[in-house]
Amino acid sequence: MTQRFLLFLALYLVSLSSFAQETENTPQRKFLESWSKPTVQPDRIILNVTEDLTTMAHITWRTSEEVDQGFVEIAAATADPMFIKKAAQYPAKTTLVDFTDIRVAGTRAKYHSAKLKGLKPGTTYGYRVGDGKLWSEWFQFTTATSDPDEAFSFLYVGDAQNYILELWSRVVREGFRKAPDAKFFIHAGDLVNHAHREQEWHEWFAAGGFIHSMIPSMPNPGNHEYKPRVDGENEESILSVQWTHQFTLPDNGPKGLEETVYFIDYKDTKIITLNSNVHHKPQAKWLEDVLANNKKKWVIITYHHPMFSAASGRDNDRLRKIWKPIFDQYGVDLVLQGHDHSYARGRTAPGSNELDGVNMRDQAGTVYVVSVSGGKMYEVGGEWNELGAIKDRSAEKTQLFQVITIEGDRLIYKSFTPVNELYDSFELLKTSKGPNKFIEKKSEAIPERVFSDEKK
């Protein structure tokens, strides 16, 4: 390499990391080792998405190893507090997880998972979890109605990852305040920074608090959910040892990728979670089968590594070559991603990689979004036009959450900052023939927050 090239490379890397360093060089909050250890009292209580949110509920929680058995008590909720007298009790599957070999606080814990079936559609239920003597408080959730045309909303966030309890907490809580009736919550990977670290998972559950217990979570794993068992050791990265114990997710994905690749059907929308970390080709075959048999009006896909990056030097060419042709073939409407610690939103041309400026004004193929909700930030960048897409909106140094609403033939997308500013918005309209009609609404939002161009 020439000296000129090496100098250019060094300057580029410094530029890329400048925003990240602003937060990474800020000391993160310290916690007592005992803070994240389990007790006999239930904690980390979470409601998970299921294959059928009209009649099913999956509930998971944690205790110390002294607890031998877990139970869920559940009843249709009423205004009369004595509805609890009618609660039915169901046993949970209990597993002991030993963390000794990954050197984390809380070296042993029991995880409890209950799969409830036969619930009534459109019904508000109250539930609590415990061992029969020690119980949590009562939580509430509402099952989906069976009306496929009824409007509904859901929440989506990118990486929490860093400063989880310190800074991500305000985002997840403002999201709940903005959309308290959201039907589920998509987490697009990198929920934590160190896959197996108990303190960080405890931060994630504490930051969301009762929200996790009342709105079903739909998480997919990011690269930070795949790490060696011991930090810094040169061994194969594995999925977070907590993942399959603390989440109880649909088991309808390809073999070997259980609870990291799956789908749910909510009214007339199919939402698919992929795992962008491993085994891309086997997922492609599974995805083709799922989409070939799809009868839902809307298709939304979520995974971690972006198809079109929001930051420079982070292109995922291999992923794009394997998955994007399938998205194009089956007309995927919306893709929700994370990873790049900045924000970008754009779209491909309908049915083609070739862009036409006139047609693209009011039509869209697949709309791609990259977002971040935690405290770690990168500068915006990435090539879109050269790769067959157009970027419509960017942001850096901005924590965001998104509220997405489906109203029959209309999809409404809104992105908000933690201080309740509308940052981005667009709509998609289904047409009887041809591609979705695209309606740009960003003019209703605050000015674009991009600062790196000011330095150039």
**15-40 tens-digit pLDDT:** 445 555 555 566 777 788 788 899 99
pLDDT tens sequence across 162-215: 999 999 999 999 999 999 999 999 999 999 999 999 999 999 999 999 999 999
How many domains is the chain built from?
2
Do residue 43 and residue 108 come from a single domain?
A: yes
Residue 358 has pLDDT above 70, yes or no: no
Do residue 267 and residue 291 come from a single domain?
A: yes
DSSP state of 202: H
Q: What does pLDDT average to over the chain?
A: 90
Quote the pLDDT of residue 13: 42
Angle at 386 between CA 383 and CA 389, to 5 degrees: 80
Q: Which of 177, 207, 152 is nearest to 416 (CA)?
A: 177
Length, in residues, of the chain = 456
Q: Are 208 and 172 in contact (CB under 8 A)?
A: yes
Do residue 242 and residue 384 come from a single domain?
A: yes
Distance CA 85, CA 75 (A): 8
214 within a domain of the structure (yes/no): yes
Quote the pLDDT of residue 245: 96
DSSP string, 384-438: -GGGT-EEEEEESS---EEEEEEETTEEEEEEE-TTS-EEEEEEEE--SSSSEEE
Quote the pLDDT of residue 30: 77
Q: Which of 372, 371, 395 is nearest to 451 (CA)?
A: 395
429 within a domain of the structure (yes/no): yes
147 within a domain of the structure (yes/no): no
Q: Are 332 and 301 in contact (CB under 8 A)?
A: yes
The residue out of 142, 171, 204 marking a domain boundary is 142
Do residue 179 and residue 47 come from a single domain?
A: no
Quote the pLDDT of residue 385: 84
Do residue 95 and residue 169 come from a single domain?
A: no
Residue 363 has pLDDT above 90, yes or no: no
Q: Are 112 and 63 in contact (CB under 8 A)?
A: yes
Over residues 142-155, the mean pLDDT reads 95
User: What pTM was computed for the model?
Assistant: 0.92
Do residue 63 and residue 168 come from a single domain?
A: no
Q: Which of 152, 310, 280, 275 is nearest to 216 (CA)?
A: 152
pLDDT tens sequence across 45-90: 999 999 999 999 999 999 999 999 999 999 999 999 999 999 999 9
Do residue 138 and residue 156 come from a single domain?
A: no
Do residue 107 and residue 173 come from a single domain?
A: no
Do residue 289 and residue 334 come from a single domain?
A: yes
Q: Are 399 and 453 in contact (CB under 8 A)?
A: no
Q: What residues does 270 pair with on adjacent strands?
A: 265, 299
31 within a domain of the structure (yes/no): no
Distance CA 89, CA 73 (A): 4
The residue out of 111, 142, 173 marking a domain boundary is 142
Do residue 348 and residue 228 come from a single domain?
A: yes
Neighbours of 20 (CB within 10 A): 16
Do residue 194 and residue 319 come from a single domain?
A: yes
Q: Domain containing 69 — which CATH number?
A: 2.60.40.380
Distance CA 224, CA 228 (A): 10
Structural domain of 121: 39-142
Do residue 158 and residue 133 come from a single domain?
A: no
SS3 of residue 77 by DSSP: coil
H/E element holding 91?
strand 88-91
Distance CA 18, CA 61 (A): 39
59 within a domain of the structure (yes/no): yes
**Exposure string for 230-262, b = 16+ CB within 10 A, e = fewer:** eeeeeeeeebbbbbbbbbbbbeebbeebebbbb
Distance CA 166, CA 204 (A): 10
201 within a domain of the structure (yes/no): yes
Residue 133 has pLDDT above 70, yes or no: yes
Phi and psi (nearest 5°) for 327? Answer: -60, -45
The residue out of 90, 116, 142 marking a domain boundary is 142
Lowest-confidence range among 164-178, 345-359, 442-456?
345-359
Residue 2 has pLDDT above 60, yes or no: no
Distance CA 362, CA 369 (A): 18
Strand duo 71-76 + 238-239: pairing: unpaired
Lowest-confidence range among 151-155, 295-299, 314-318, 401-405?
314-318
DSSP string, 18-61: HHHHHHHTSPPPP--GGGG---SS-EEEEEE--SBTTT-EEEEE
Q: Domain containing 228 — which CATH number?
A: 3.60.21.10
